[in-house]
Amino acid sequence: MKNATILVTDLNHLKYIKYNINNIRQNIKNTDIVILTNEKDFPLINEELKEKNVFIYSVENKNSPYYLKYHIFDKYFKKWDNLLYLDCDTMILENASKLFDLLNNENEMFVDFEEHKIFDFFNLSNEEIEQNQDQFKSLLNEKNINKIGFNSGILLYKSSLISEENADKLKSYHLKYADINKHGKEQNILWNLKPGTDQPIINLVFLEKCKKVPNNYFSYWGRYNSNSLILHFCRWHAPWFNEEFNEKINKRYVDYFNENKN
């Protein structure tokens, strides 16, 4: 079985990518690494990385950087059997090679379910619902948005999930529900981005195929326990931003990040 771990980035996050690559290389021994980017001339950080099975997959994407993530379901990735997608604000704490062993069935995906319904991901005020009644009614008719959803920051899945049908659904739902996708709007304002992220749309397409990852192997950092292999920090809680991380996990992981990011 061939495995790949996928990172999505643009040049704005280049300084973190070397850290992510080293973090993967030290803790997942049985994987290639693919950097998915919208930069046509994405520079490999140094010659050393070329020897680490690091591949660059460039796509054209002029929209919000969040929507680059839809391309992790492109046909390009069918050359691998098992795929692990990681947001750049993740940290692998110890050997996570066994994660790929969880994928025993075709068309399955392991995720970290949240405490929120899919409806909550759209982050709509009553006023926004009133202003977009047709789209909202269409969404209600199409999917059960009262189901508990998952975080799209870490996804472990079979490449057999990749199909033209699913790619078309991602594109269709993205366009169809653009005006009511307000996920992350508070943070997006700070970064001068339009409201909306990939998470509600990926939930609409793939929720029925998803299973909860066992043993809390990957999770939001606030739910860390002794079984956790990978933590997701959700941007503003990342260890390079939030001093609370030092108390919650351990200072040595902050040191680990600082040693490897340069």
* 129 within 8 A of 179, measured Cβ to Cβ: no
The confidence score (pLDDT) of residue 221 equals 80
For residues 159 and 78, what is the distance between their CA atoms, to the nearest angstrom? 5
The confidence score (pLDDT) of residue 190 equals 44
Q: Which of 110-114, 120-124, 207-211 has the lowest mean pLDDT?
A: 120-124
* pLDDT > 90 fraction of the chain, expressed in percent and rounded: 55
Q: Which of 36-40, 250-254, 257-261 has the lowest mean pLDDT?
A: 250-254
For residues 24 and 184, what is the distance between their CA atoms, to the nearest angstrom? 27
Residue 18 confidence (pLDDT) above 60:
yes
Question: Across all residues in the chain, what is the average pLDDT?
Answer: 84
Task: Name every residue whose Cβ is closer than 8 Å to that of residue 159 and which is 6 or more positions away in sequence.
Answer: 77, 78, 79, 80, 81, 82, 83
Residue 236 confidence (pLDDT) above 70:
no
Residue 245 confidence (pLDDT) above 70:
no
How large is the average pLDDT for residues 230-241?
Answer: 70
Task: Name every residue whose Cβ is closer than 8 Å to that of residue 17 and which is 6 or more positions away in sequence.
Answer: 7, 9, 35, 45, 88
Going by pLDDT thresholds of 50, 70 and 90, the confidence category of residue 225 is: confident
Dump pLDDT digits (tens) for 24-60: 999 999 999 999 988 776 665 555 566 668 898 999 8
How large is the average pLDDT for residues 199-228?
Answer: 93
Going by pLDDT thresholds of 50, 70 and 90, the confidence category of residue 19 is: confident
Residue 253 confidence (pLDDT) above 80:
no
How large is the average pLDDT for residues 75-87?
Answer: 97
The confidence score (pLDDT) of residue 17 equals 81
Q: What are phi and psi of 90, to 5 degrees?
A: -120, 160
For residues 57 and 35, what is the distance between their CA atoms, to the nearest angstrom? 6
The confidence score (pLDDT) of residue 248 equals 52
Q: For tokens 């919208």, what's the residue?
A: 38
Dump pLDDT digits (tens) for 87-108: 988 889 889 999 999 999 999 9
How large is the average pLDDT for residues 136-141?
Answer: 94
The confidence score (pLDDT) of residue 198 equals 93
Burial class (CB within 10 angstroms; exposed 0-12, middle 13-18, buried 19+) of 147: middle
Q: Which of 53-62, 127-136, 197-206, 252-261 has the lowest mean pLDDT?
A: 252-261
Residue 261 confidence (pLDDT) above 70:
no
